[in-house]
Chain A
């Protein structure tokens, strides 16, 4: 490992690792991700002076265009998607570090010329031989790119420098393909240089889950099966497939959302305190949660998981078509756009606590949250007659309107004893008015600094797939369990029944 730069002027200026000079090569540079997320994130980092002083960005893609055209296109998209207004001078300076490199991914020659460009950047810009390769392409392109990176010697850093790879999700489509992909990546880059992005982990509130749990004594002492009745993790949106039908129909909600984002949120919610804040200490604890998930196989899947598809309905009062009517979706598609499942974590802390996970498209509104419902008070005193006092619920809102709320019971003013729920609400936006950085800003900076805490490790990804595969396998055996719900409704009756079997109702978002 190269020794970190020790700049005495940096002490006390930033509380994070300083990103090192490097060349960032984005494969799939003409794609949506580059235009909507990566370049706007890099621009904002550059404007704040957070990027390393020497950074060259090489956009690698198949389409014919010049660097000038590429920069112009990026300027337009950054103007549209950046969280801060575009400053012409800053953009000009930032854009001068961007080069377009046209080549098919499968031609060795393209990598030879890439090598020349990277060497030139080292000589002219001081990028120091450090390389960060971002695979912003569909997974079927990974093998060809990775094998060329290996054959070109790009994955081996020279003395005193580093070579890292960022892999965008999906990390495979099942355990087998994930293992294949991971093996492929590991043959080229060691695990410590592999950064698997799950942008949910870059969100401020997701990062705050650990702070809330382990920096406040009041929560952790209640964070177990003695005090918690159940947990609901929800990520829903009013949008349909919106032009992603080709990918989505082969993926479905289970692979698109549950396997990565929601299981990551589950691990952050259920993990034990890590021994330190190092990347591996945290990821060790997260992976233990995944290993403790009770597997769902065969008939159990149909008892614990509900899948459904939306049909035509209304969103915000406007008619929307059903999933099967969307462009690119087969008329007989059985791909799920709604999943609700109940899982158990078989470890000491969580024995007997059901976790409910739900994700869906075309819901009446969007949002992502984790709701921890505490057990009811004993049936004495105020709860003696079984009058149904509302349980305490702690809600961690990931998006939108990031924040935390706690529902409690309080006496209504008056001479009679009437108890009603009240909500204490903390909104990030209310207390901290300033805009929070985009998840990709944090994640790109972390990758340049060599901090893998917010990236998924190989075993995390594979354990998550092992769990999801059991469900997918069972689904292949029949299709009559696929339920339907009207777009703009909160899901099928089967999902409500699933929760009701545990005496639970799904939360209204």
Chain B
């Protein structure tokens, strides 16, 4: 491969070589680690892309990064490893804070033996965050997930969401798993959910929430699952039940009123616009193309017309990952949101 992810090391000598690296680095470098972040990918070239990502987040979230490029379907077995460090200057004294990175390229049997080949190199006592960048394959291996404290994945990239959400449900149901499920697509929708929630913090607007009749949502071509998760979230929070599972689905609210949803593909941010119409008012959320701001507006009879501007985070993987890692905690509403629209997954 053209990209070399650090110093090559025999897998049995990783810890020793890392120790030597630290010895040679002098006193100006400080090792820091909050988590083990393992990133699993089955595509060739993923080590380079993921090294960029870990380099991008190490300055704000110290960790031991473990990158895995795996080809589990290959014949035989092969395993190679590299080590490197990501260092950042900290403070006025010129010292650096460094995160370690171990990269693996595994094929065949080695790729199917993550527990012995890879997880023996975890920084003990720190949580394991596993970012699974591949599809989940049945059957689910309960032993693997027992190791994992937080499982990151991104439903936006799934070609078969119905099957993948089913497998995720299996993982979350494993008796031995204590894994927290973190869909980066759910994290991606958080700023939109925050901005929407803020609209209804105004008491006058809040009463309209139960009277919503139509939702229009603009999303990019690759963000339909993000849009669906948002719809699922609204449905769960507002007690809607799906009765017309179509491309533009319809729900009934608790009083039996119809709430229609229109999902539209558009360019710009993954979710660039949401229009919510109630019986008496309209609420809008807009992120202009290229803008780092959300503008929300509320207008209608008996409510105070308001416009609000909020900072919209960049939608780069680094930002979403950092937000998710910093936020921590479980995501109980995620499972409910997925369930509320499960008939819509294709």
Contact = CB atoms under 8 A, between A and B. Distances in A.
B164 interface: no
A422 to B, nearest CB: 14
Interface stretch (B38-46, B153-161, B196-204, B218-226): B196-204
Contact of A8 (B97, B238, B309): B238
B139 interface: no
Contacts of B146: none
B310 interface: yes
B88 interface: yes
20 contacts: A5-B201, A7-B206, A7-B209, A8-B238, A9-B209, A9-B234, A10-B197, A21-B202, A47-B310, A53-B198, A53-B306, A87-B292, A89-B309, A90-B309, A90-B311, A93-B309, A125-B304, A126-B202, A429-B90, A429-B91
A433 B59 contact: yes
Contacts of A89: 293, 309
B197 A5 contact: no
B253 to A, nearest CB: 12
Given A53-B198, A126-B202, A9 B193 contact: yes
A19 to B, nearest CB: 8
Contacts of A47: 310-311
The number of chain B residues touching the other chain, given as a range, is 35 or more
Tell me the dominant secondary structure on chain B's binding face: mixed
A376 B276 CA distance: 67
A430 B304 contact: no
A259 B308 CA distance: 42
Nearest to B237: A8
Given A8-B209, A13-B194, A429-B91, A53 B311 contact: no
B35 to A, nearest CB: 10
Contacts of B200: 7, 9
B197 A7 contact: yes
Interface in B133-148: none
A10 B311 CA distance: 18
The number of chain A residues touching the other chain, given as a range, is 35 or more
Interface in B202-232: 202-204, 206, 209
B195 interface: yes
Interface string A432-465: 1110000000000000000000000000000000
A128 interface: yes
Interface of A: 5-15, 18, 20-21, 47-49, 52-54, 87, 89-90, 93, 123-126, 128, 401, 427, 429-434
Contacts of B293: 87, 89-90
B7 interface: no
Contacts of A87: 292-293, 311
A48 B32 contact: no
B281 to A, nearest CB: 13
A8 B334 CA distance: 14
A124 B303 CA distance: 10
Given A5-B206, A13-B197, 20 more contacts: A6-B206, A7-B201, A12-B331, A12-B333, A13-B194, A14-B194, A20-B201, A47-B310, A49-B195, A49-B198, A89-B309, A90-B293, A93-B308, A125-B304, A128-B203, A427-B32, A430-B97, A431-B33, A431-B34, A433-B61
